[in-house]
Amino acid sequence: MTVPPPIVAPSILAADFARLAEEVRAVQDAADWLHVDVMDNHFVPNLTIGLPVVQSLRAVTEMPFDVHLMIEDPRRWAPGYADAGAYNVTFHAEACDDPVALAKDLRSAGAKAGLAIDRDTPIEPYLDLLPSFDTLLIMTIKAGFGGQRFIPQLLDKVRTARRHVDTGHLELRIEVDGGIAADTIEQAASAGADAFVAGTAVYGAADPAQAVRHLRALAERAAPGA
């Protein structure tokens, strides 16, 4: 396996929404991407933030934004996030009937394209689509809420994806999201994930930047071939 250095992406879902700019600055020197969870109360029951917040945050930091859209009709909304300067825009496979077409739209709008696979969705039908994507986000919980317990069985999908990426020599980040913390990140890294979203484990810590550094060190140590 050839796994690139890990990406750690704090999720602002676990931050204090009344102090978002400060909360972003607290991790910007330690983290690689800022993970932004957009939920629409339809694709998932929860409701979070949308484009105006992303636009405002874009002005307060240089961090690359990793936007995770848990919304219906991503073909209508996703390109707006690319236009707003998101580095990567990920939408759910379950919400889109032509993922490859949307990936093309995102790339032509200047963003990287990500495909997300929720807890109950098998990965196999999507493997052949991966050359059109830059990131594959494998949920390690059921999408919708922060602070849930990590489901280790879902790492089988990460292993399958890693084998496929390596044998196909694809340039694709394999990202895990949900319940990633100091006691779970090593299993995810050794399964072949190379990008790690962490909400509670970062913003629930006394020192969020230190939490990011600790997670990265654990992921590096556990990476295959390390």
**Annotated binding-site ranges:** 11, 35, 37, 68, 144-147, 177-179, 199-200
Task: Using CB under 6 A, pick the residue from 93, 198, 211, 223 that binds ligand DX5.
Answer: 198
87-91 own/partner pairs: CB under 8 Å, 24+ apart: 87/33, 87/111, 87/112, 88/33, 88/64, 88/112, 88/113, 88/114, 88/134, 88/135, 89/113, 89/114, 90/66, 90/114, 90/115, 90/116, 90/135, 90/137, 90/175, 91/115, 91/116
Q: How far is the CB of 197 from Zn ion (least distance, A)?
A: 5
Task: Using CB under 5 A, pick the residue from 37, 40, 105, 175 that binds Zn ion.
Answer: 37
Distance separating alpha carbons of residues 147 and 201, to the nearest angstrom? 9
Choose the one of ligand DX5, Zn ion, none that binds residue 178, judging by a C-beta under 5 to 8 angstroms depending on kind: ligand DX5
Q: How far is the CB of 37 from Zn ion (least distance, A)?
A: 4
Distance separating alpha carbons of residues 25 and 29, to the nearest angstrom? 8
177 CA to centre of own chain: 6
Distance separating alpha carbons of residues 123 and 93, to the nearest angstrom? 10
Q: How far is the CB of 208 from ligand DX5 (least distance, A)?
A: 12
Bind-site residues for a divalent metal cation: 35, 37, 68, 177
Each residue 63-82 as x (binds ligand DX5 by CB under 6 A) or -, in order, gives: -----x--------------
Q: Which is nearer to ligand DX5, 35 or 164 (CB)?
A: 35
Residue 162 interacts with Zn ion (CB under 5 A)? Answer: no
Residue 187 interacts with ligand DX5 (CB under 6 A)? Answer: no
* β partners of residue 91: 69, 115
Residues lying near Zn ion in the complex (CB under 5 A): 37, 68, 177
Residues lying near ligand DX5 in the complex (CB under 6 A): 11, 13-14, 35, 37, 68, 143-148, 177-180, 197-201
